[in-house]
């Protein structure tokens, strides 16, 4: 498939993926022939771009970390879990019974972990589509999936992979108890608002501990996901080995996903820009071991995206290589030539100079 930013979509293009909301409801079906109305609707939803089916996209290999159904189910489960916490009873006294949504979360965790562990070459190779309105739910599901991949790449035990995926689903539940005007503020927060926002890890931890039976490692990661490696984070200002490794890993997945997604206060950063940020703050905000793993795992040139080579040729990324994310295989759209930037001797001096997403 070929990734096309919404501004470049044209009527008659064939949609290569289903578009759904945070509840799992289909908004536009895959294989639909786009109309002006469809394109306007995608813009209204806040979708940045979609994958379409065309001749150039037929050369693209690979897909998402997990299949579309698993991700869709994960987003829907997170949505239901958060919406339950929005109930007045939960707000006032955190409830007293274990809800069936806990079993749903655990079932979704198993689906994600099974997918992550089934493929040793799994990589973050495509751009996942989100609707603007359901940001928190899409974000939580995608952080969980990404955290699972990083945990697998760090060679953690299967039980630890499950724990960090579960913590990813739950990490922002405390935001339910923060004033939504603060959560959605399209500006820099005041000091008072910033302090209120910093309470969400503690509130989330307390809500989950009282109302559910998630294990201690999961709860700890939820509580610590805004701590910094050097002790400069919150809520406890712990750092280094005083933080669990799962907390440090979840921190990285959370920040990476937030920076590459659109927020009310910023447009998305390119994956390469985000990796530069991580490398610059390695040992300060982020665990250096995890940053090193990220530089080999997270694709800065997602499959299906348009790029430009240093010799001026336009191309599409068709395949990424594990451990060499800066040197994908590309398909030159004007000449029909496939170039492997990692292995082709004649391409050793070529670099990618532009990415369009």
pLDDT beyond 60 at 323: yes
How confident is the model over 220-265, as pLDDT tens digits? 999 999 999 999 999 999 999 999 999 999 999 999 999 988 776 6
The pLDDT of residue 62: 66
Q: Assign 29 a pLDDT band (cuts: 50, 70, 90).
A: very high
Higher confidence at residue 2 or residue 187?
2
Q: Is the pLDDT of residue 125 over 80?
A: no
Give the mean model confidence (pLDDT) for residues 126-155. 87
Residues 127, 128, 131, 137, CA torsion sign:
negative
CA 247 to chain centre: 17
- With cut-offs at 50, 70 and 90, classify the pLDDT of residue 63: low
Residue 106 has pLDDT above 70, yes or no: yes
User: Which segments of the chain does DSSP mark as H helices, in order?
Assistant: 36-45, 68-85, 88-93, 101-118, 135-153, 158-170, 180-183, 191-197, 200-211, 216-224, 245-260, 271-280, 288-297
3-state class (DSSP) for residue 319: strand
For the ranges 60-69, 111-120, 183-192, the lowest mean pLDDT is seen at 60-69
- Mean pLDDT in residue range 17-44: 92
- Convert 42-80 to b/e letters by CB count within 10 Å (16 or more is b): beebebbbbbbeeebbebbebebbbeeebbbbbbbbbbb
Specify the pLDDT at position 22. Answer: 87
Predicted pLDDT at 171: 96
User: pLDDT for 148-171, tens place per residue?
Assistant: 999 999 999 999 999 999 999 999
**Is residue 297 within 8 Å of residue 311, measured between CB atoms?**
no
Q: Determine the Cα angle at 69 with ends 63 and 75, to 5°.
A: 105
pLDDT, residue 99, reads 57
Nearest-10 Cα torsion for 49, 175, 193, 246: -90
What confidence tier does 120 reach under pLDDT thresholds 50, 70, 90? low
Note the pLDDT tens digit of each residue in 346-357.
Answer: 898 999 999 887
| pLDDT tier, 31 (very low <50, low <70, confident <90, very high otherwise) | very high
């Amino acid at each position: 498939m070929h990734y096309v930013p919404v501004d470049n979509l044209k009527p008659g293009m064939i949609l290569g993926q289903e578009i759904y909301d945070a509840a799992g409801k289909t908004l536009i079906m895959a294989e639909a022939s786009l109309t002006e109305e469809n394109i306007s609707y995608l813009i209204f939803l806040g979708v940045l771009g979609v994958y379409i089916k065309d001749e150039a996209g037929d050369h693209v290999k690979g897909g998402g970390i997990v299949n579309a159904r698993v991700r869709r189910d994960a987003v829907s489960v997170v949505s239901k879990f958060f919406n339950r916490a929005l109930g007045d009873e939960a707000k006032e006294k955190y409830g007293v019974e274990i809800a069936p949504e806990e079993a749903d979360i655990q079932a979704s965790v198993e689906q994600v972990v099974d997918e992550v562990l089934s493929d040793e070459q799994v990589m973050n190779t495509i751009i996942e589509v989100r609707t603007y309105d359901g940001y928190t739910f899409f974000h939580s599901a995608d952080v969980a999936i990404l955290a699972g991949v990083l945990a697998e790449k760090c060679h953690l035990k299967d039980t630890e992979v499950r724990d960090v995926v579960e913590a990813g689903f739950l990490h922002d539940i405390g935001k339910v108890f923060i004033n939504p005007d603060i959560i959605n503020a399209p500006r820099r927060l005041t000091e008072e608002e910033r302090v209120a926002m910093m309470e969400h890890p503690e509130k989330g931890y307390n809500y989950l501990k009282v109302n559910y039976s998630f294990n201690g490692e999961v709860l700890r990661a939820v509580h610590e996901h805004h701590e910094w490696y050097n002790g400069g984070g919150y809520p406890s200002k712990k750092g280094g080995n005083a933080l669990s490794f799962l907390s440090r890993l979840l921190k990285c997945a959370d920040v990476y996903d937030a920076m590459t997604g659109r927020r009310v206060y910023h447009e998305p950063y390119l994956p390469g820009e985000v990796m530069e940020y991580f490398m610059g703050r390695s040992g300060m905000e982020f665990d250096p071991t995890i940053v090193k793993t990220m530089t080999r795992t997270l694709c800065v040139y997602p499959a299906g995206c348009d790029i430009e080579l240093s010799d001026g040729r336009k191309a599409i990324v068709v395949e990424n290589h594990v451990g060499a994310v800066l040197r994908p295989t590309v398909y030159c759209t004007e000449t029909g030539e496939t170039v492997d930037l990692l292995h082709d001797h004649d391409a050793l001096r070529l670099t990618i100079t532009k990415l369009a997403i």
